[in-house]
């Protein structure tokens, strides 16, 4: 069963493949789509988990992600350095060179499903060729996908001060009734339109009992004339971050509650998903409506397995004259194709927006907030500065510069740039921010707006064993040693916990979603008898926890 479709909404990007349910199980065999050879082995805990990329004989490549483990054939034929990385649970991306070529036949088992990386147990499959991602569903048998299509919301939006719907300049939300597999408006009266209106549609295809997946194709027709088609069969790789042109990034959710689609193109040639690449193609224009008669809008929706639905509405041209809405035209200070710097009033903080920093124009501000954060061992060095508004249509993003003022005679120890919430509470340390020790300026690249401040952190982290107290007895060797690290300041990095068992170094694996560390090696940690675990956590600033001592016995 498919639980995630190609080009579905994800925060700031399109979903690159298909997700297949494994009913919560791990260890389900994964078969190659077609013949080829292994090109890349990956293990990336913050995204795809354990993954294989196959280069196929037809020029396509496929990627299979979140595996629990690779097949015995794959493991046996991998070069020793890669096998060692897998054994040590390292993050890596390894290309398979021709002299280590591993050929795979169509349908051959290459691995087993798991929950590595981000997300619950499932299989993620991608298909790409010549700098394009392709919809894997177009190459697979999806006949088992029989779920109906649902429309949960339909809104017409006036696009300028001279546009009106039923005599109003406000958005018009159309209530719908389902009629068979299609939708018709509750109000049978035609919609009166003057000027230009864009259509927003929320909907999904049902998959299984509760899953919602995205549409495969959407068409907009006026009096049988095709105005726009959204075709999710393939997307250039450089456009995968342009989901904001299809989805409302403020209202859409990954769960599909809702997927809110924009059915017109805001910028010319912005996204190949739109088959009509002209700016505003798909917009309903009153001068295209035949006066004196009822006109028909048809929205054709297609899901997996070619399941279809349509929304049919009627329109009439509104011949009344309305005074134009004298709304204050919005002023912008950042545009997609130009650069600009925005400063705080005291000029201590700066947001530099290069060309192509955003997909749509916006008016940004950098303002100081009178917020003070108080926590033992943590000292706030600068005021909190906010880059606003909440904006979700970044292309390359912007550079934040935050200066220490006045310049300190001596740079404080354990100093760093942090993101904070609107109340000034620390959200996270920004480990990739850089500090120029001459100018005393922090620099941070971001694709999200937010609040920032500089702190020093002398607060030690804490560490404990999850679920057990020292002196515990395990009845057999089938147990897991899980550690939890906590830190109110800079946080504990992935490799920030050092463990010895019985005086010997042990290996630790970090699970980012569950936020625990697992002691998994050497195998002797499960030998019968008495054991002594010692662990120390060190945060990004070098503060160390008290030594954790956990003694246990294996029977």
Q: What integer pLDDT is reported at residue 326 of this predicted model?
A: 74
> Mind listing the pLDDT tens digit for each residue in 451-489?
999 999 999 999 999 999 999 999 999 999 999 999 999
Q: What integer pLDDT is reported at residue 168 of this predicted model?
A: 96
For residues 238-250, give the mean pLDDT.
97
> Mind listing the pLDDT tens digit for each residue in 218-228?
999 999 999 99
Main-chain phi, psi angles of 86, to 5 degrees: -65, -45
Strand partners, 236: 132
For residues 435-442, give the mean pLDDT.
97
In the chain, what percentage of residues exceed pLDDT 70? 99
Distance (Å, whole) CA 327 – CA 330: 9
> Mind listing the pLDDT tens digit for each residue in 129-186?
999 999 999 999 999 999 999 999 999 999 998 999 999 999 999 999 999 999 999 9
Three-class HEC string of 35-51: CEEEEEEEEECCCCEEE
Burial of 501 (0-12, 13-18, 19+ CB in 10 A): buried
The count of other CB atoms within 10 Å of the CB of residue 144 is 11
Asked whether the predicted pLDDT for residue 333 surpasses 90, the reply is: yes
pTM listed for this prediction: 0.93
Q: Could you check whether the bond before residue 406 is cis, i.e. omega within 30 degrees of 0?
A: yes
Residues in CB range of 53: below 8 A, 6 or more apart:
38, 39, 40, 41, 42, 61, 62, 63
H-helix or E-strand containing 83? helix 80-87
Q: Which residue has the tokens 């530099």?
A: 352
Q: What integer pLDDT is reported at residue 402 of this predicted model?
A: 99
Q: What integer pLDDT is reported at residue 324 of this predicted model?
A: 83
pLDDT band at residue 292 under the 50/70/90 scheme: confident
Distance (Å, whole) CA 381 – CA 454: 5
Polymer length in residues for the chain: 555
- Whether residue 18 contacts residue 124, with contact meaning beta carbons closer than 8 Å, is answered with yes
pLDDT band at residue 124 under the 50/70/90 scheme: very high
For residues 320-334, give the mean pLDDT.
84
Three-class HEC string of 177-214: EEECCEEEECCCCCEEEECEEEEEEEEEEEECCCEEEC
Sign of the torsion formed by the C-alpha atoms of 539, 541, 542 and 546: negative
Main-chain phi, psi angles of 523, to 5 degrees: -60, -20
Strand partners, 207: 211
Q: What integer pLDDT is reported at residue 328 of this predicted model?
A: 61
Distance (Å, whole) CA 542 – CA 461: 10
Distance (Å, whole) CA 291 – CA 319: 8
| Residue among 136, 388, 360, 119 at smallest CA distance from 242 | 360
> Mind listing the pLDDT tens digit for each residue in 416-433?
999 999 999 999 999 999
> Mind listing the pLDDT tens digit for each residue in 343-384?
999 999 999 999 999 999 999 999 999 999 989 999 999 999
| Residue among 491, 451, 453, 484 at smallest CA distance from 468 | 484
Which three-class secondary structure state does DSSP give residue 106?
coil
> Mind listing the pLDDT tens digit for each residue in 482-525?
999 999 999 999 999 999 999 999 999 999 999 999 999 999 99
> Mind listing the pLDDT tens digit for each residue in 39-93?
999 999 999 999 999 999 999 999 999 999 999 999 999 999 999 999 999 999 9
Q: What integer pLDDT is reported at residue 327 of this predicted model?
A: 66
**C-alpha radius of gyration, the chain, whole number:** 28
- Whether residue 214 contacts residue 5, with contact meaning beta carbons closer than 8 Å, is answered with yes
- Whether residue 330 contacts residue 216, with contact meaning beta carbons closer than 8 Å, is answered with no
| Residue among 449, 550, 433 at smallest CA distance from 490 | 433
Q: What integer pLDDT is reported at residue 330 of this predicted model?
A: 82
Asked whether the predicted pLDDT for residue 217 surpasses 80, the reply is: yes
Which three-class secondary structure state does DSSP give residue 300?
strand
Domains of the chain with bracketed CATH:
2-139 (2.70.70.10), 149-317 (no CATH), 340-457 (2.60.220.30), 462-554 (2.60.40.3780)
Asked whether the predicted pLDDT for residue 400 surpasses 90, the reply is: yes
Distance (Å, whole) CA 21 – CA 2: 6
Task: Tell me the pLDDT of the chain averaged across its residues.
Answer: 96
The count of other CB atoms within 10 Å of the CB of residue 26 is 16
């Amino acid at each position: 069963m498919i639980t995630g479709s190609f080009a579905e909404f994800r925060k700031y990007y399109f979903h690159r493949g298909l997700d297949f349910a494994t009913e919560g199980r791990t260890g389900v065999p994964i078969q190659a789509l077609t013949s080829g050879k292994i090109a890349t082995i990956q293990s990336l805990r913050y995204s795809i988990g354990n993954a294989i990329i196959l280069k196929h004989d037809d020029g396509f490549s496929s990627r299979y992600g979140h595996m629990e483990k690779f097949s015995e054939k794959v493991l046996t034929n991998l070069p020793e350095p890669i096998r060692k990385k897998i054994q040590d649970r390292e993050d890596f991306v390894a290309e398979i060179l021709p002299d280590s070529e591993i050929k795979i036949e169509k349908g051959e088992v290459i691995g087993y499903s798991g929950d590595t990386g981000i997300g619950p147990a499932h299989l993620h499959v991608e298909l790409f060729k010549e700098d394009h991602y392709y919809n894997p569903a177009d190459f697979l048998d999806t006949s088992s996908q029989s779920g109906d299509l649902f429309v949960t919301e339909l809104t017409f939006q006036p696009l300028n001060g001279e546009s009106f719907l039923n005599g109003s300049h406000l958005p018009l939300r159309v209530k719908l009734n389902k009629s068979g597999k299609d939708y018709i408006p509750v109000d049978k009266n035609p919609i009166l339109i003057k000027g230009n209106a864009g259509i927003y549609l929320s909907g999904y295809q049902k998959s299984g009992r509760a899953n919602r997946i995205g549409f495969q194709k959407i068409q907009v027709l006026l009096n049988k004339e095709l105005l726009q088609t959204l075709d999710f069969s393939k997307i250039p790789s450089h456009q995968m971050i342009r989901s904001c042109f299809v989805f409302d990034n403020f209202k859409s959710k990954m769960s599909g509650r809702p997927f809110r689609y924009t059915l017109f193109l805001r910028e010319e040639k912005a996204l190949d998903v739109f088959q009509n690449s002209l700016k505003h193609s798909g917009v309903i224009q009153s001068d295209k409506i035949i006066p004196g008669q009822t006109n028909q809008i048809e929205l054709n929706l297609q899901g997996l397995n070619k399941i279809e639905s349509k929304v049919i509405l009627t329109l009439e041209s509104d011949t009344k004259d309305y005074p134009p809405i004298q709304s204050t035209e919005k002023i912008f200070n950042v545009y997609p194709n130009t650069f600009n710097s925005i400063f705080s009033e005291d000029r201590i903080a700066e947001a530099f927006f290069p060309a192509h920093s955003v997909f749509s124009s916006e008016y940004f501000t950098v303002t100081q907030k009178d917020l003070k954060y108080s926590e033992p061992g943590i000292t706030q060095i600068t005021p909190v500065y906010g880059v606003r508004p909440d904006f979700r249509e970044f292309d390359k993003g912007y550079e934040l510069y935050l200066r220490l003022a006045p310049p300190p005679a001596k740079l404080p120890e354990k100093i760093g740039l942090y993101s904070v919430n609107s109340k000034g509470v620390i959200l996270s340390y920004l480990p990739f921010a850089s500090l120029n020790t001459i100018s005393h300026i922090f620099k941070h690249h971001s694709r999200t707006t937010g609040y920032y401040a500089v702190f020093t952190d002398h607060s030690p982290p804490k560490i404990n064993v999850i679920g057990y107290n020292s002196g515990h007895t395990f009845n057999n060797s089938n147990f897991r040693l899980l550690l939890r690290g906590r830190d109110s300041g800079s946080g504990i990095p992935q490799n920030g916990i050092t463990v010895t068992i019985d005086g010997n170094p042990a290996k630790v694996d970090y699970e980012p979603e569950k936020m625990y560390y697992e002691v998994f090696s050497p195998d002797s940690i499960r030998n019968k008898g008495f054991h002594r675990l010692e662990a120390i956590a060190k945060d990004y600033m070098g503060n160390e926890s008290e030594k954790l001592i956990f003694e246990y016995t294996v029977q």
